[in-house]
Amino acid sequence: MKPTERSKVVRSPNRGHYDKDSLNKVLDDGYICHVAYDFKGSPIIIPTAYAREGDVVYVHGAIKNRMLNSMLEQKQATLSVTHLDGMVLARSAFHHSFNYRSAVVFGSPFIVDQPEEKNRVLKLITDNILEGRWEEVREPTEKELGVTLVIGIKIDEASVKIRQGIPMDDKEDYELPIWAGELPVTLAYQSPITDDSGVKGLDVPDSVNNMLAKG
Whether residue 179 lies inside any domain: the answer is yes
What is the percent of the chain where pLDDT is above 70?
100
**Per DSSP, which regions of the chain are E strands?**
16-17, 32-39, 42-49, 51-53, 56-62, 77-89, 97-111, 148-163, 181-184
Q: What is the CATH number of the domain that holds 85?
A: 2.30.110.10
User: What tens digit of pLDDT does each residue of 29-80 get?
Assistant: 999 999 999 988 899 999 999 999 999 999 999 999 999 999 999 999 999 9
Whether residue 7 lies inside any domain: the answer is no
Separation CA 98–CA 165 (nearest Å): 9
Domain boundaries, position 117: 13-183
Q: Please name the residue ranges forming H helices in the chain.
A: 20-28, 66-74, 115-129, 142-146, 206-214
Separation CA 19–CA 59 (nearest Å): 23
Contacts of 196 (CB under 8 A, 6+ apart): none
pLDDT at 40: 87
Whether residue 210 lies inside any domain: the answer is no
- Bridge partners, 42 (sequence order): 39
pTM of this structure: 0.93
Whether residue 29 lies inside any domain: the answer is yes
Whether residue 52 lies inside any domain: the answer is yes
Q: Is the pLDDT of residue 215 over 80?
A: no
User: What tens digit of pLDDT does each residue of 118-141 get?
Assistant: 999 999 999 999 999 999 999 999
Q: What Å distances lie between residue 22 and 6, 15, 103, 162, CA to CA?
A: 18, 12, 9, 10
Confidence of residue 151 (pLDDT cuts 50, 70, 90): very high
Q: How many domains does the chain have?
A: 1
- Bridge partners, 159 (sequence order): 104
